[in-house]
Amino acid sequence: MHLEGWNSIPTGYGASFDLTSAPVWLRVWFSTPFIDRFAYPVAVRRGYATLSPHPGWPTTGRGSVPDGWRVTDDLG
């Protein structure tokens, strides 16, 4: 099963999730054991997920970024 943000993150990136401004229902869902994995794609689609490139990873070796992800240029 392919779940964006849970078991699928573009190559060459690390993911972080900032749910501070997310609706309460999504924060609760995100913190519920076992079913939380199905909240990750929703968090990505709603713009609460950020990708940061791995330091030292070549730009040409990074995977394509699907819609919904925010990408930061912060390498540290």
Higher pLDDT, 5 or 23: 23
Q: Taking the model in full, what pTM does it have?
A: 0.84
Evaluate if residue 69 carries a pLDDT over 90.
yes
Distance CA 49, CA 19 (A): 8
Q: Quick one: pLDDT at residue 75?
A: 55
3-state secondary structure 2-58: CCECCCECCCCEEEEECCCCCCHHHHHHHCCCCHHHHCHHHHHHCCCEEEEECCCCC
Higher pLDDT, 1 or 33: 33
Q: Tell me, what amino acid is at 61?
A: G
Distance CA 45, CA 23 (A): 14
Higher pLDDT, 18 or 4: 18
